[in-house]
Amino acid sequence: DVKVTQSSRYLVKRTGEKVFLECVQDMDHENMFWYRQDPGLGLRLIYFSYDVKMKEKGDIPEGYSVSREKKERFSLILESTSTNQTSMYLCASSPRGVLVEAFFGQGTRLTVV
């Protein structure tokens, strides 16, 4: 089974703190993604990566950055958290090719106080 693992299920941080959300996949997938999910807004793409050291902005990249130093790991970085970044963060991976099925991690619920 494909496994996408996010480092934390729940996080509580104070405004202005730096936060790293880690995601690891074990299926040698080329593509990795970070989404956030908010009530009434659904899932929105923050950043994605098609290969090691490659990154591209999604629909809502402001306030976030990412790092992909190894193929299996994709990190989301919140340099200085704000309360409007309180959300559910979801990591996903998918292979490159014809059958591009996405698999998601269990999610990280981040609360910024």
Binding site for another protein (CB under 8 A): 4, 6, 31, 33, 40, 42-43, 45, 48, 50, 58, 90, 92, 94, 97-107, 109
CB closer to another protein, 25 vs 80: 25
Residue type (1 letter), 92: A
In the complex, what is the shortest distance from the CB of residue 14 to another protein, in angstroms, rounded to a whole number?
Answer: 23
CB closer to another protein, 75 vs 93: 93
For the chain, state the CA radius of gyration.
13
Question: How far is 85 from 64, CA to CA, in rounded Å?
Answer: 10
Question: How far is 16 from 59, CA to CA, in rounded Å?
Answer: 23
CB closer to another protein, 1 vs 62: 1
CB closer to another protein, 16 vs 54: 54
Q: Is residue 26 classed as helix, strand or coil in its secondary structure?
A: coil
In the complex, what is the shortest distance from the CB of residue 42 to another protein, in angstroms, rounded to a whole number?
Answer: 5
Q: Which of 12, 20, 18 is nearest to 67 (CA)?
A: 20
